[in-house]
Amino acid sequence: MQTSEIEYSIDGVTYIGHLAVPDGDDPRPGVLVCHEAPGLTHHARGRADRIAEEFGYVAFALDYWGGGTTLPADILWPTFEKLRSDKALTRVRAKAGLDVLLAQPRVDHSRVASIGYCFGGTMSLELGRAGVPLKAMVGFHSGLQNSDPADAANITGSVLVCIGVDDPGIPPAQRLEFEESMNAGGVDWQMILYSQTEHSFTNKDADRPGFRYQPRTDERSWRAMADFFREKLG
């Protein structure tokens, strides 16, 4: 496996993502990885590397804040709220990262997926809601809210979301609204709920009330994604 950092630009701002490519020269599926709200860290980079190593796919962990790092704590939440409330901006930043992935010569454009963690999971879903022709979208502890539920009808691929039942940011009502929008849009979707699981259950650094790593759920959800990818990407 080879890894590299790739710079790209959105409206004059430099973003730096992480690319992982398996050995060889044959076409492979491509997976876009969207990081958690604080920024691009070893967590999303490590997930991209693991996808390349375990599945033999090309993986690109995008950067949606710029600079390829995390945001300072004093500006994180105001900046995050601005992005979360702007569907169009969210899609622009997701699509810019996807374009970097699609520009890689090893990527088979007929077998492309997106995954994401926390707001990155929401971002992954927004690509599908924007009509981007992805084969699969996966969200781990991802927000399920959708400002325009009718956009679900634009999703052409399949969806998997992995959610902790004790996640304070994803209450049962939000799960039900997601279910209703997916069904109304005719989407092929799955939601897996995990007991004794809070937000950020995939991140080993998460350790505070409501945001806590859960190793059992981390591995179970990864295996669920692996099965999903075998079905959808081969």
Question: Do residues 214 and 164 lie in contact, with contact meaning Cβ atoms separated by under 8 Å?
Answer: yes
Kindly indicate the confidence band of residue 159, based on its pLDDT and cuts at 50, 70 and 90: very high
Question: Do residues 136 and 228 lie in contact, with contact meaning Cβ atoms separated by under 8 Å?
Answer: yes
How far, CA to CA in Å, does 146 sit from each of 4, 13, 127, 195, 202?
34, 27, 12, 24, 23
Instruction: Indicate if the pLDDT at residue 231 is higher than 90.
Output: yes
Average pLDDT (176-195) is 98
Percentage, residues of the chain above pLDDT 70: 100
Q: Which amino acid is at 175?
A: R
**CA–CA separation, 71 and 200 (whole Å):** 17
Averaged confidence pLDDT in the chain? 97
Residue 147 pLDDT:
85
Average pLDDT (61-72) is 96
Which CATH number does 2-232 carry?
3.40.50.1820
Kindly indicate the confidence band of residue 7, based on its pLDDT and cuts at 50, 70 and 90: very high
Give the predicted TM-score (pTM) of the model.
0.97
Helix (H) or strand (E) holding 208: strand 207-208
Average pLDDT (139-161) is 95
Residue 89 pLDDT:
97
Q: Tell which residue, 104, 120, 18, 142, has the closest CA to residue 64.
A: 120
Instruction: Indicate if the pLDDT at residue 158 is higher than 90.
Output: yes
CA pseudo-torsion sign 125, 130, 132, 133: positive
Average pLDDT (1-16) is 97
DSSP state of 207: E
3-state secondary structure 64-109: CCCCCCECCHHHHHHHHHHHHCCHHHHHHHHHHHHHHHHCCCCEEE
Average pLDDT (130-152) is 95
Instruction: Indicate if the pLDDT at residue 225 is higher than 90.
Output: yes
**CA–CA separation, 213 and 204 (whole Å):** 5
Residue 213 pLDDT:
98
